[in-house]
């Protein structure tokens, strides 16, 4: 990767092994003149954009378009000056380049560990009238990902109101017949794959819930017609942020697609006093000419290795059992220890004590904020229980919901103003709880001290960090009236500060993010917590779609997936233990049920599942994922994991409903080495020896499957 600069043509060429991103300064405006498959650095890069000779703002592919000066499409930013006008005109002032990639203070970001992993370009723009400057930051990685963000600074004499601040904007010529790919859903049905044709006008996605949300993930991609897992062009954006976001694809009258992503401008205003700066979150851009699967693997490698951090980044994740669906709030120390004892016999490595261990928490209507052990349920305290679990050979994990407060709590009675609220107005409760105002340092200090006190005295190895409701009445009792529209973003900044402080002080603890499942499955949280509970819906059939959709952007090492009891507690469906296990093994594996209720035959089966996952855990969590069949397109789902050296693979195949007199199914594999010979084994033993080209081109025969909700797996090892 490199950055080539042609001073005479004012051209900046960001080049990786697979892609080129070319910016040209025209009449003082930085324009995107090319983004796509890699170009030679010595090629002629002039006149790449048709109609550019007109040099009209409304026809220019601007890198950071503005409002009010002739470009009538969606802008990347908007400000209001002291005189009430909203007119600025950012012009190119200068640039700088450097090896590596700088960090972003107070926000999560993709990082480098050596300067040869990325190169960085910064373009400085200035509005001469107001003194506002914007620094556009680009870093290009070897594998093709590009990170973008914008930093505003008020060098003028008057306060500026920042009304809109996206992180990235790209104008794509000749793509108006393309399609928009994104993930949508709701609670218990997250990450549902959506695809629609682009056409004149705009399609917007986003969240106004204070979190990235179940409804829309902060990801969007423009894909060529017919693009599939292996073929076609993909232009993707993903925001490293956990709060209100906005993504939009707009097609103008000339067929140019404007794709942008960043903070949601709805109800947002940031007061920028003279000398002050504002930094947008980072956007990660990925181009692939090897289809959607090629895009996914670029995101996966980058996020697995250079977004997730800490000692757990490269460690195999433990197989856990969570007591929630086993006991809900009704448990004793003896019951939890009994589950751990059974888990130890089955090879499970971690027990997580979920909700109900603190305050007087017998249901979800009280005690959030009172992070003190409940001695009625745990007479000898948390430390005693954790030590009992450890004597069974398991690590001990604990559930928290730190961002919330119950009106029925000692904390609320002492500090009723600590929640987000508008004075004199109703405080909207959801699940009988309110949201703590994390924009306030005293609230963050309280939470840090309460949790740190537990971590210092109890051998906690894992924390499930939950967040079960969106933000309402987004006002702060500690903020001035003119700063109230900053609170949604300040909440997220406060959250990041709190989590960073805890994970830095207690690096040995594996933190898992959760927001009623996947309500905050985003790159921002993965920077601090390397895995996320994907959905509260643990039904194996529903999980096929949820895990498939999530894997479009996020690596399997970040996807929490557990076996739960049947009938399933969310959809009341009954599926076999094997089917549930094969689905859950395609993620961070665990159990969400009462292990003591298993029959002897089931215990044998669980021991086999645990042993199999341990055997292939590194491959599943760190290998390249290839999606072979989509649950959104048919009755069958399949995916496979391939080691980096292509010497090892494991294939999973799922059939939802049985079919009468079915035809023989042949599954074409991917990601193997054409020249290798692979020994293939299945659940019944050795299947045969096959060349990689045979398996990828002619395919692997799937044995007949009997009944609904059935699955099969295959292991592959290179013979050499």
Q: How much of the chain is helix, strand and coil, in % rounded to 5?
A: 25, 35, 45
Which residue's entry shows tokens 């010497």? 647
Q: 614-620 contacts: CB < 8 A, separation 24 or more?
A: 614/319, 614/347, 616/585, 616/641, 616/650, 616/715, 617/316, 617/317, 617/589, 618/316, 619/643, 619/648, 619/649, 619/650, 620/556, 620/585, 620/586, 620/587, 620/650
Pick from 110, 74, 72: nearest CA to 261: 74
Q: How far apart are the first and last CA of the chain?
A: 33
Active site residues: 466, 536
Q: In whole angstroms, what is the distance from residue 600 CA to residue 127 CA?
A: 74
Residues 589, 164: Cα–Cα separation, whole Å: 41
Q: For residues 531 and 559, what is the distance between their CA atoms, to the nearest angstrom?
A: 6
567: cis peptide before it, omega within 30°? yes
Q: What SS3 string covers 552-603?
A: CCCCHHHEEEEEECCCCCCCCCCCCHHHHHHHHCCCEEEEECCHHHCCHHHH
Nearest Cα to 517, choosing from 539, 531, 537?
537
Where b means 16+ CB within 10 Å and e means fewer, 140-174 reads bbebbbbbbbbbbbbebeeebbbbbbbbbbbbbbe
Phi/psi of residue 606, each to 5°? -65, -40
CB 63 within 8 A of CB 31: yes
Q: Between β-strands 118-126 and 270-272, what pairing exists: parallel, antiparallel or unpaired?
A: unpaired
Across the strands, what pairs with 43? none
Helix or strand or coil: residue 160?
strand
């Amino acid at each position: 990767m490199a950055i080539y600069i042609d001073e005479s043509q004012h051209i900046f060429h960001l080049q990786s092994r697979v892609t080129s991103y070319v910016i040209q300064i025209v009449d003082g405006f930085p324009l995107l003149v090319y983004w796509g498959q890699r170009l030679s650095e010595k090629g002629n890069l002039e006149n790449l954009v048709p109609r550019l000779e007109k040099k009209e703002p409304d026809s220019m592919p601007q890198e950071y378009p503005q409002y009010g000066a002739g470009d009538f499409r969606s802008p990347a930013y908007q400000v209001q000056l002291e005189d009430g006008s909203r007119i600025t005109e950012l012009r190119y002032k200068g640039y700088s380049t450097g090896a590596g990639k700088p960090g972003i203070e107070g926000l999560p970001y993709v990082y480098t560990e050596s300067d040869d992993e990325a190169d960085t370009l910064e373009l400085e723009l200035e509005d001469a009238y107001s003194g506002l400057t914007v620094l556009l930051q680009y870093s290009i990685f070897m594998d093709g990902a590009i990170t973008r963000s914008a930093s505003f600074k008020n060098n003028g004499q008057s306060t500026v109101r920042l009304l809109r601040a996206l992180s990235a904007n790209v104008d794509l010529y000749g793509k108006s017949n393309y399609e928009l790919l994104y993930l949508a859903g709701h609670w218990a049905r997250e990450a549902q794959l959506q695809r629609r044709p682009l056409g004149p006008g705009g399609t917007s996605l986003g969240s106004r819930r204070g979190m990235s949300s179940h409804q829309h993930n902060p990801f969007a991609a423009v894909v060529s017609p017919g693009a599939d897992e292996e073929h076609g062009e993909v232009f993707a954006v993903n925001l490293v942020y956990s709060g209100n976001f906005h993504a939009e694809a707009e097609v103008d009258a000339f067929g140019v697609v404007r794709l942008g992503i960043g903070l949601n401008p709805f109800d947002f205003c940031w007061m920028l006093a003279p000398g002050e700066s504002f930094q947008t979150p980072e956007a990660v851009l990925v181009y692939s000419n090897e289809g959607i699967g090629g895009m996914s693997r670029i995101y996966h490698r980058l996020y697995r290795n250079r977004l997730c951090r800490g000692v757990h980044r490269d460690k195999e994740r433990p197989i856990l059992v969570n007591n929630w669906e086993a006991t809900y709030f009704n448990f004793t120390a003896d019951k939890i220890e009994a589950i751990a004892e059974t888990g130890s016999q089955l090879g499970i490595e971690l027990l997580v004590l979920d909700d109900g261990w603190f305050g007087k928490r017998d249901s979800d209507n009280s005690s959030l904020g009172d992070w003190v052990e409940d001695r009625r349920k745990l007479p000898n305290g948390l430390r005693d229980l954790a030590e009992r679990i450890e004597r069974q050979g398991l690590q001990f994990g604990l559930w928290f919901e730190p961002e919330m407060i119950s009106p029925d709590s000692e904390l609320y009675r002492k500090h009723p103003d600590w929640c987000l609220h508008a004075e004199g107005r109703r405080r909207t409760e959801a699940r009988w709880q309110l949201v703590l105002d994390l924009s306030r340092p005293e609230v963050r200090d309280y939470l840090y001290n309460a949790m740190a006190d537990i971590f210092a005295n109890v051998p906690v190895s894992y924390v499930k960090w939950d967040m079960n409701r969106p933000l309402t009445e987004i006002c702060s009792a500690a903020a001035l009236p003119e700063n109230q529209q900053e609170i949604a973003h300040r909440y997220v900044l406060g959250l990041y500060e709190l989590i960073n402080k805890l994970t830095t002080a207690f690096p040995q603890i594996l933190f898992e993010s959760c927001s009623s499942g996947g309500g905050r499955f985003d790159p921002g949280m993965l920077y601090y917590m390397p895995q996320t509970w994907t959905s509260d819906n643990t039904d194996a059939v529903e999980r096929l779609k949820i895990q498939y959709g999530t894997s479009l952007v996020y690596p399997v090492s970040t996807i929490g997936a557990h076996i739960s009891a049947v009938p399933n507690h969310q959809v009341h469906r009954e599926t076999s233990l094997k089917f549930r296990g094969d689905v859950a093994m395609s993620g961070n594996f665990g159990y969400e049920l009462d292990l003591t209720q298993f029959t002897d035959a089931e215990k044998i089966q669980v021991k086999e599942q645990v042993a199999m996952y341990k055997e292939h855990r590194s491959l599943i969590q760190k290998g390249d994922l290839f999606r072979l069949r989509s649950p959104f397109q048919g009755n069958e789902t399949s995916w496979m994991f391939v080691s980096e050296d292509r010497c090892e693979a494991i294939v999973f195949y799922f059939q939802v409903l049985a079919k009468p007199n079915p035809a023989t199914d042949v599954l074409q594999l991917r990601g193997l080495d054409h020249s290798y010979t692979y020994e293939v084994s299945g659940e019944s033993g050795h299947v045969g020896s096959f060349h990689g080209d045979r398996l990828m081109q002619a395919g692997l025969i799937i044995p007949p499957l009997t009944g609904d909700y059935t699955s099969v797996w295959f292991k592959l090892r290179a013979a050499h």
